[in-house]
Amino acid sequence: MSEPLFLEPVFKEKIWGGTTLRDRFGYRIPSDHTGECWAISGHPNGPSTVKNGEFTGKTLMELWEERRDLFGGMSGKGFPLLTKILDANADLSVQVHPDDAYANEHENGELGKTECWYIIDCKEGAQLVYGHHAKTKEEFVRLVEEGKWDSLLRKVPIHPGDFFYVPSGTIHALCEGTLVLETQQSSDTTYRVYDYDRTDDAGNKRELHLQKAIDVTTIPHRDAAVRPRTEEKTGVIITTFAKEPFFSVYKWHVEGTASFTQNEPFELASVLDGEGAMKADGKTYPLEKGMHFLLPSGFGHFELEGHLTLIVSHP
C-alpha cells in the first residue's frame, strides 16, 4: 500500500465549544458551539471517512475490520487510537477516565482512556486543571462532597507548544481559551466530577459520575513525566513528546525538504500549520493546514517539502 489515506473529520457540538475550528482551519462546522473535531477516528461514535484512492468512502472502522493488513496485522477489536482537535471556548467539565480493566468491566468492553495534549494555541494567562491536592481518598471524597473545588483542584499555567501526558486516573480539564490537539486511546468514556453547575437550554444540568470517578482517580495525584527530545535532520526538526505503551507522539517542523520512512504498523498525521506536499511512489499529494492522514503499514519512503508543522503518532 503506497498511498496515504486522507480522512474527513467528524465534528461534535459541545456546550463549551466555539468557532475556532472554522476560524483557524476553515472547517465547515455544524454550529457556533462546535467543540471537537474527531480528526482521525475509528470509533463507532464518529468514524472518519477516507477521501482518496481505492478506499474512498470507506470509514476507518470498516477498514480496521476488513483490511487489517493496512495496520500491520495488529490485534484488537477496535482501531486503537483517536486524534481530536478541541476548541475550549469555555471551561470543560472536570473529569477523569478509567483504565482498560475498569472500562472493560463497567462500560461494556470499552477501552480505557489515556490521552495527551499538544497546546496549539491559548489565550494569555490560560491554564488547565491537571491533578488534585487530596492526599487520601477520604480527603478527596470530602472535598468533592463539600464542593471545595478551589482547595481540591490543581491548576497549571499553559503556553502554545506545551505538551501534557494524561494517564487514566488523572483529574483534568481544559479551560477557556485553549485550542488543543489530543491523541488518545480510542474511547468515548468520561466521568464528570464537576461541571460548574451549568445548565443546557432546557435548564438541565449535565450528568455527573461521582462514584465511578472516585473509583478510578489516582490518589494522591502523580505528575506524568514529560521530557521532550529534539532532533534536527535535513529539512526537519523532530520533537519526541511521548513514547508510552499506548502511543508515541511527535512534532515534525518541516522547512524545506525532509525524508522519512514509515516502519510502524501505521502512522497518523495532522497538519497544524503551513503548506507543502508529500511525495511518495512517484506521486505528489498537496498538504495544507487542517489536513489529516494515515500512512498504512509498508508505506515506506516518502518526502515532505514546504513549510509545515505536523503532529504525528503511532501505537
201 backbone φψ class: left, alpha, beta (φ>0; ψ -120 to 50)? alpha
Helix (H, G, I), strand (E, B) or coil at 212: helix
Question: CA 44 to CA 62: how far, in whole Å?
Answer: 10
Q: How many other C-beta atoms can be found within 10 angstroms of the C-beta atom of residue 239?
A: 17
Helix (H, G, I), strand (E, B) or coil at 93: coil
192 a catalytic residue: yes
Q: Which of 67, 192, 198, 222 is flagged as catalytic?
A: 192
* C-alpha closest to that of 15 among 186, 197, 153, 171: 197
Per-residue CA distances from 113 to 102, 214, 249 (Å): 10, 16, 16
Helix (H, G, I), strand (E, B) or coil at 129: strand
13 backbone φψ class: left, alpha, beta (φ>0; ψ -120 to 50)? beta
Residue given cell 445548565 in the structure block? 199
Rounded to 5 degrees, φ, ψ at 55 are: -100, 15
Name 129's Cβ contacts closer than 8 Å, sequence gap at least 6.
94, 153, 154, 155, 171, 172, 173, 175
Helix (H, G, I), strand (E, B) or coil at 66: helix
Active site residues: 192
